[in-house]
A and B are shown apart, each in its own frame.
Chain A
Amino acid sequence: MRKWIGELTRLTIFGGVIGALITLLIILNWVPTTIEKGYIREYSSINEVKSALKLKDIYVPRYFPENILWPPARILAQTSPHTAVLMEFVDKNTKKTVLIIYQSERKDDIRDTKAKIDEIKESVEYPLENRRAQLLVGICKGATPCSMLTWKEGQYYIEIFIESPPFELIRIAKSMLH
């Protein structure tokens, strides 16, 4: 009996130590954000991103298809190690993410895989107001048609992903150009 109690006590101690280790990791994860304010985090509005990170050029469309809800449902932004802003917009009815706008100083940045075309049907170069853009048209999860447009705008690489055919996508992109 004493042996069993001893083993159970040690088991409890082990569980407690694992809990403490997780807490320590969370604290260690938080420390750099107190040193470097520009590390990626979620923001509640575009204005907050502009004031907190002192970012001037945030590319926001002036045109939105009717089904898309403004403001963005989710905004992630960072200035360290490089500047990047990600905005997710949802459908008014389904509340599902249907439009993602991503701007980054790096081309090889790791993106969220929500913006992923499962089967590319067409890949063409598209002239976007004197800019060379790449247009991808294909099928996404659940056999939904989707499209993606990428181009270089000043210091940023911009990527727009929409769960719909490319017509609306191009209108959105054109409305973003300064």
Chain B
Amino acid sequence: MDLSGFFNSWIGLYITQAFFHSILSCLIVELAIYIWKIHEPHIKQAFYFIVIIFPIFSMPFYQLLNPVRNTVSFRLEAYFDSQRWLNLMILGKIPLGLIFILFLVFTSLLFILQELIPIIKHLLESEEKEYKIEKVEEDSPILKVLDTIPVEKPDIYIIDDEDYILYSTTVSKPAIYISKGLVEEMDQEQLKAAIAHEVAHIIRNKKPLLIAVFLLRILMFFNPVVLIQFRRAVEEEEKICDDMAVSWTGTPVVLAETLGGFFSNKGQTSPNQPKGSLKTLEDYSHDMVIETRVKRLARRDQENTNWVWVKFLLTLFSILYINYKVV
């Protein structure tokens, strides 16, 4: 099968349209967020979910709606026919479609290396690694922190590690894991803020929307736009949990200070990554996210929640309408 044959096949049409539909959805969503000054993380996350989920179903949905949508006649009337660009030859030799496919292959590799392998590796490591983990005793001051958070109390475990580690699980029984290094470094208020944030994650994970979206997002493994937007949705999840934590503790500044401790060059004791070493791209993006969250907590944006559903539906309708005429 030659290249134009591939782009005419169902799989070729699906991949191409999913890619272009996600670009346009992303553009419309970003414009909507900017124009309507949407800062609320849960609203922003809902907008990002459109970009992640819509391209998965767009082409089959449109095809059901109008079975002649892939015909020549429809393409001639379309706002944008991707095949016009993909069939162009660069310097009369290399088809642009080939570069497009190579780009998607690169994105797929990025997905495998940056998302799939780390998840598998993490699962295997957590099975192999024998951390010394102890459940916090009932009279521990850490548990007293939980008393001030008005929700169901999870178990807390201390990890015998000097690094800054803090995470929660909801697999069997909700639990928060915190490293010794972190407990020793933080004061009572900071500890409360950090634990409140993890409790928020536990509550949110009872309705694992983000996990469901991630599973759907795997179907778009080749799509760079979805890759980026999913990460942004995850960032918004962190902000949602920050807001929940602040609503319980009432101390945004303390949570901001606590987050400051999680910059990649702090609390690192690993000999492989000495302080002041060149940051990896992953560390850089991690720090960027932390910085944004710290700034946001310090700023406390004015929320604009008027007509949210109208705005959301208008954005969704614009995406549906424009992409219908993008083949």
Contacts and interface: CB of A to CB of B under 8 A. Distances in A.
A, B co-complexed: yes
Interface string B6-28: 00110000000000000010011
Looking at A11, A42, A76, the one whose CB has the most chain B CB atoms below 10 A away is A11
A164 to B, nearest CB: 22
Given A3-B306, A10-B35, A111 B71 contact: yes
A33 B24 CA distance: 22
A32 B322 CA distance: 20
B88 interface: yes
B46 interface: no
A36 interface: yes
6 nearest A-B pairs in the assembled complex, by CB-CB distance: A81-B4, A32-B84, A81-B87, A25-B79, A25-B80, A112-B71
Interface in A69-90: 76, 80-82, 86
A110 B4 contact: no
Interface stretch (A12-20, A60-68, A149-157, A167-175): A12-20
A1 to B, nearest CB: 13
A80 B87 contact: yes
Interface residues of A, number: 34
Given A7-B307, A22-B322, A28 B80 contact: yes
19 contacts: A7-B307, A14-B31, A14-B35, A14-B314, A17-B35, A21-B27, A25-B79, A25-B326, A29-B84, A32-B84, A32-B88, A39-B87, A42-B76, A80-B87, A81-B4, A81-B87, A110-B70, A112-B73, A113-B68
Interface string B287-326: 0000000000000000000110000001000100010001
B150 interface: no
A109 B88 contact: no
Interface of A: 3, 7, 10-11, 13-14, 17-18, 21-22, 25-26, 28-29, 32-33, 35-36, 39-42, 76, 80-82, 86, 106, 108-113
Contacts, number: 87
B81 interface: yes
A21 to B, nearest CB: 7
A14 B36 contact: yes
Looking at A33, A41, A113, the one whose CB has the most chain B CB atoms below 10 A away is A113
B5 interface: yes
A18 B8 contact: no
Looking at A18, A81, A108, the one whose CB has the most chain B CB atoms below 10 A away is A81
B32 interface: yes
A18 B322 contact: yes
B67 interface: yes
Contacts of A39: 84, 87
A111 B71 CA distance: 6
Interface string B73-107: 10110111101110111000000000000000000
Given A14-B35, A108-B5, A21 B322 contact: yes
